[in-house]
Structure 1
Amino acid sequence: MYFFTNDFDYFYKHSIKFRGGLKDLRVLFVYNSKGIDARTLLVTTQGRSLMNKGVHIDYYDICSKNVFGYIKHVKHLKNYIKRGQYDIVHSKFGFSAFTSTLAGAKPHVVSLMGSDYKLERASLYISKLFARFFWDVTIAKSPLMYNALKGKNTVMIPNGIDFSRFKHIDREIARKRVGFSSSAHVLWVSDPERKEKNFDLAREGFANLNTNDVELTVVNNVELDKVPFYYYAADVLLVTSKWEGSPNVVKEAMACSLPIVSTDVGDVTNITEGTTGCYIVESDPESIAMAIDTALSFGKRTNGRDKVRNLDVDNISDQMIEIYLKLVDK
């Protein structure tokens, strides 16, 4: 169960009261794309939705792959915030939030995505410390994250997805577009080099399958517009991660009504609950293989799209705006 806020009388009254309306609410998104298109898409999808509702959104991409890059951006970000006269700074990912904090961001909203906070003692301790003393609102993406942080200003709101990107595509058209053969196809959507995604487990589980004529397809570094075609062309999505926050790949597969086999990470259990054709399994090859065999035997699309309607990015944006307005009102 997500902790969505529902004080809409407050929301609408204050959106009109605030200066000239939401168009005068200036928000800066601070994030680190690391040059990965999917990270940028995650941030800009939320940004576009907020802009459609009238909020002014700017972006500051740290775009660095080491700690020195984060530190190097502190002074520049401080000047950027001052020049922009932002009402809210919203940092996406924990390390970006540390940079924003050192740059003096106030009021400061922080979204911890999952892999950035992880349940490692050091990073979790630092996140809890900053959430308590420096961040005005901390947004956790799953019950596990929320319970680990336990802060009085912590709320639980998952990432939203843009449903318009995942409209129905005819299976044969989708398979032709992505070049699938007549075989069944199991999707694994991520970078195999990322250790937390645990591609070795996917490979080992696939090797134990009893079902014949099945291919394991890794979707990584493909055109973003092509990704929905993979979901509609495939038979099963496989997630083998060691840890996650609120994995969008699962929500995207649900929006395309694709059967799912996943380890119990992040909020996957909450998202797939009550959806026939979705299977949460232990992190061992035999369990993975058995669940894939079962999902392939299921042999049809799920009712997942209806189950995740509430995770449309526009619904999430309403929650964001309410948080912003309450902070500004203080």
Structure 2
Amino acid sequence: MKVLFFTNMYPDEDDKVAGLFVKNQLESLNRKGIDVDYLLVNVKNPLKDYFLGYLQLLKTLKGKEYDLIHAHYGFVGFLSAFQKQIPFILTLHGSDVNIWWQRIFSKFATFFAKKVIVTNQKHKEIMGGKAILVPTGVDNYTFYPMDPKVARNKLGLKDGAKYIVFPSSRKRKVKNYPLFKKVIMKLQEIDSSYVELHLEDKTPEEVNLCFNAADLLLLTSFSEGSPLVIREALLCNLPVVSLDVGDVRERIIDFTNCYVVDNSLDDIVSKILNVTQVSGVRAQSKKKINFSTLESNADQIISVYKSV
């Protein structure tokens, strides 16, 4: 089977973590014998770039024979609906469901998509009967716990500092970096040892080191689907404090030293202090971790492909 991933997110040299879950899924499908190419719409000027992306899609479909288009995100699903050559399925990832005006484009795309994949139960309920729940797979080979001191040494980080991870690109408005920055500044007023730790220029292996070296991950996003970074952090036993977005509450419920917080500076700071005032505190699962892996995710995706 030959499949074209059509997406508006994929990692590059400037941001090695943006859309990494799309790349991981593509590679895991390739390992399972599915021949997958990808076409990226690199969005800087939305109207212009999505129009050019649609033209590029038509050109790509003329140049190669595909059995299926797999559109990642509502906007590219919307574009996929206007070509009639190849059936397409659509994966919705978060803001394309949560934000009302984006949901209009996503809903339009679902009328024409053969199948619609969502990543959490709430989105399945919103998108209706055609939606299939397939959680994004976590790379349990790359993300694993190790000695925090060893991880800090490998990254050249200070022993006495308290590192708080911002888990995305600061350029992505939906990730709400300004709130994260306010939290760090408030923490530094209390204790000058708090330091931001960023992931944009890191490889997955370096991100694993960051998660093991850090004291906590703080997620301040306006909107999420099923943020993979939460499960990656938990595999490294990194405590998580997050706004109540996506399926974070469901993911952290069985872990100690993890909190869902109100969108309140005082509440966020209070929970972070609860976790980080004692050095070396980690997140521990109260039962066996059973996250969907890249391999199990690929098997589920292949089942969807075969049903089209």
**Structure 2: gaps (5+ residues):** none
Residue 69 of structure 1, CA deviation: 1.5
2:9 to 6, 16, 33: 33
Residue 84 of structure 1, CA deviation: 2.7
SS in 1 for 2:69: strand
SS in 2 for 1:91: strand
Paired position in structure 2 for 1:214: 193
Question: Does residue 114 of structure 2 align to residue 136 of structure 1?
Answer: yes
2:274 to 294, 313, 316: 294
Q: Percent identity?
A: 29
Paired position in structure 1 for 2:261: 281
**Structure 1: gaps (5+ residues):** 1-24
SS in 1 for 2:141: helix
CA-to-aligned-CA distance 1:3-29 (integer Å, 9 cap, x gap): xxxxxxxxxxxxxxxxxxxxxx11111
Between structures 1 and 2, the one with greater helix share: 1
What amino acid is aligned across from residue 93 of structure 2 in structure 1?
Answer: M
Whether the 8 Å CA contact 1:78–1:104 is kept in 2: the answer is: no
Q: 1:168 to 1:120 in 2, by over 3 A?
A: closer
1:243 to 208, 212, 223: 223
Whether the 8 Å CA contact 1:188–1:216 is kept in 2: the answer is: no
Question: Does residue 69 of structure 2 align to residue 60 of structure 1?
Answer: no
Q: 1:74 to 1:197 in 2, by over 3 A?
A: closer
Residue 211 of structure 1, CA deviation: 6.2
Question: Does residue 248 of structure 2 align to residue 272 of structure 1?
Answer: no
SS in 1 for 2:164: strand
What amino acid is aligned across from residue 124 of structure 2 in structure 1?
Answer: Y
Q: Distance in 2 between matches of 1:306 and 1:239?
A: 23
Paired position in structure 2 for 1:20: none
What amino acid is aligned across from residue 112 of structure 2 in structure 1?
Answer: F
Q: Distance in 2 between matches of 1:305 and 1:57?
A: 38
How many residues were matched structurally? 300
Residue 280 of structure 1, CA deviation: 0.6
Q: Distance in 2 between matches of 1:195 and 1:26?
A: 34
Q: 1:270 to 1:162 in 2, by over 3 A?
A: same
Paired position in structure 1 for 2:206: 226
Residue 321 of structure 1, CA deviation: 0.8
Paired position in structure 2 for 1:317: 298
SS in 2 for 1:102: coil
Residue 60 of structure 1, CA deviation: 1.4
Q: Distance in 2 between matches of 1:57 and 1:255?
A: 28
User: Taking structure 1 as the reference length, what is the TM-score of the superposition?
Assistant: 0.83
CA-to-aligned-CA distance 1:122-151 (integer Å, 9 cap, x gap): 2212311321x211111122233222222x
Residue 264 of structure 1, CA deviation: 0.6
Whether the 8 Å CA contact 2:69–2:89 is kept in 1: the answer is: yes
SS in 1 for 2:21: helix
What amino acid is aligned across from residue 163 of structure 2 in structure 1?
Answer: H
Q: 1:81 to 1:189 in 2, by over 3 A?
A: same
Q: Distance in 1 between matches of 2:172 and 2:49?
A: 20
Residue 214 of structure 1, CA deviation: 3.4
1:180 to 122, 139, 157: 157
Residue 304 of structure 1, CA deviation: 4.7
Residue 44 of structure 1, CA deviation: 1.7
Paired position in structure 2 for 1:19: none
